[in-house]
Structure formats: C-alpha cells, structure tokens
C-alpha cells in the first residue's frame, strides 16, 4: 500500500512483513476462496475489531503465507474491497439489461434490500468506518458509488445516459441511504414501502 492512514490500527499493520511472491511463483491456495473468507470476517466484525488471528484462522493461512500474499491486514482489506466491488457491479450491470421499465427499480431493490440483510453493503460499511481517515478506502468507495450512479443512468436511458444523470444520482443516494436505515433496524417491508415512492423518479 502506498497511501498513509492516520488510524492507529491501520497504520500499525501497513508495513509488509514478508516479501510478496514474484509473478512466476504460484500461490498454494485459492485466492478467491481466502478473500471470501476474509470478507466474511470483516463484514461481521468490521476492520478495527478484526484481529490477524481472526483472519489467518478463517482464511486457513499461516502468518508467513498471509504476509507473503497480502502484506498486512490493510492489504487484505483492500483486496477484499476490490473483489467485492467488482462482483457487486457485475450483478448490477446484469440488471441494466432488463427492460427499461423494470431495470432501475430492480437495481434499487437489489442495493437497498440485499440478501445479506442487516449487514448491509460491505463497502458502505467500510466507507462509514474508515473513509474519513483512510484515503485508499475513500477512493475505492468513491469509484464504486460513481459506477453505481453510472449504471442507474444507463438503466434509465440506455441511449443517452447523461440525460438521466440527475435521476440516477437521486436513485443512488436513495439506495445508499436505505442501506443505513436497514442497518439501524428498519424492517424490510417499511423500506420496500419507501422504495415504492421512487417510481416517481423512474418515470420518464
């Protein structure tokens, strides 16, 4: 990692302890599998409360393998967030292929009422926890949220997405806001009722 963070628990983990493997040296584990295991730990505990032992145990890695592959707790978090963002955006992009009258609401509901329930969106959780003092998390978060807005614009008007930019921004803000409401304990049926009001935004 090249950017410095002032968070004590982040900065204490940022220096690589062991050189990472060169490009010709294969890893003895499935990277997607170990990153998914790390994702579940971070998603449950948050970054600050997750220990190195929590991670290595869940990922099935020794400390030496962990440091060689990811360098630090912060390093594995960055890899987790990039994977998570790419996967979430792929799923939303698939929804933009639905008929124009269906796609925006399908996307809104997919973001606002995730199958993970009250855990919400991993990236939004990290933005809230870390972005104010962690430049790289903030940058990943900004890029992710911008791509969500872009996809809403594409779903609203495939021929001229920029014409739908204001509506896309409103839908994006509503989606992220309802994630916070869900985490605070608002029942899904009440969120769904609030989302129904967004049909006025979606209408041509």
For residue 36, give every residue at least 6 positions away whose Cβ sits within 8 Å of its Cβ, in sequence order, or none. 83
Same domain, 91 and 19: no
Domain span at residue 129? Answer: 82-202
What the block records as the tokens of 192 is 């769904």
**Is the same domain home to 69 and 98?**
no
Q: Is residue 149 domain-shared with residue 54, that is, in the same domain? A: no
Domain closes at, from 57, 74, 91: 74
Q: How far is 40 from 127, CA to CA, in rounded Å?
A: 17
> Are 178 and 112 within one domain?
yes
Q: Is the pLDDT of residue 73 over 60?
A: yes
Same domain, 68 and 92: no
Q: What CATH number is associated with residue 191?
A: 1.10.357
pTM: 0.80
Which pLDDT score, from 0 to 100, does residue 196 have?
85
Average pLDDT of 53-81? 96
Residue 4 in domain:
no
**Are 163 and 182 in a shared domain?**
yes
Given 54, 74, 94, the domain boundary residue is 74
Residues 52 and 121 in one domain: no
- 88 close to 151: Cβ distance less than 8 angstroms: no
Same domain for 15 and 46, yes or no, is yes
Q: Considering the domain boundaries, does residue 162 fall inside one?
A: yes
Q: Which residues contact 178 (CB under 8 A, 6 or more apart)?
A: 111, 112, 113, 191, 194, 195
Query: Using CA atoms, how far apart are residues 27 and 183, in angstroms rounded to an integer?
Result: 37
- The average pLDDT across 10-15 equals 34
Instruction: Write the pLDDT tens digit of every residue in 122-176.
Output: 999 999 899 999 999 999 999 999 999 999 999 999 999 999 999 999 999 999 9
Average predicted confidence (pLDDT) for the chain: 85
Task: Count CB atoms within 10 A of the CB of residue 59.
Answer: 22
């Amino acid at each position: 990692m090249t950017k410095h963070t002032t968070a004590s628990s982040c900065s204490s983990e940022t220096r690589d302890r062991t050189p990472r493997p060169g490009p010709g040296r294969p890893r003895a584990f499935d990277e997607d599998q170990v990153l998914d295991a790390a994702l579940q730990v971070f998603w449950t505990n948050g970054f600050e409360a997750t220990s190195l032992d929590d991670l290595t145990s869940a990922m099935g890695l020794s400390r030496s393998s962990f440091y060689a592959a990811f360098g630090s707790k912060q390093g594995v978090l960055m890899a987790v967030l990039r994977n998570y963002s790419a996967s979430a955006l792929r799923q939303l992009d698939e929804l933009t292929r639905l008929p124009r009258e269906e796609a925006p609401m399908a996307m809104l509901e997919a973001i606002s009422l995730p199958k993970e329930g009250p855990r919400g969106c991993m990236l939004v959780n990290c933005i809230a926890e870390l972005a104010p003092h962690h430049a790289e998390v903030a940058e990943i978060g900004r890029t992710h949220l911008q791509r969500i807005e872009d996809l809403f614009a594409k779903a609203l008007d495939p021929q001229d997405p920029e014409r739908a930019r204001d509506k896309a921004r409103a839908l994006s803000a509503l989606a992220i806001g309802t994630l916070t409401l869900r985490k605070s304990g608002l029942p899904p049926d009440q969120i769904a009722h609030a989302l129904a009001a967004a049909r006025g935004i979606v209408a041509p």
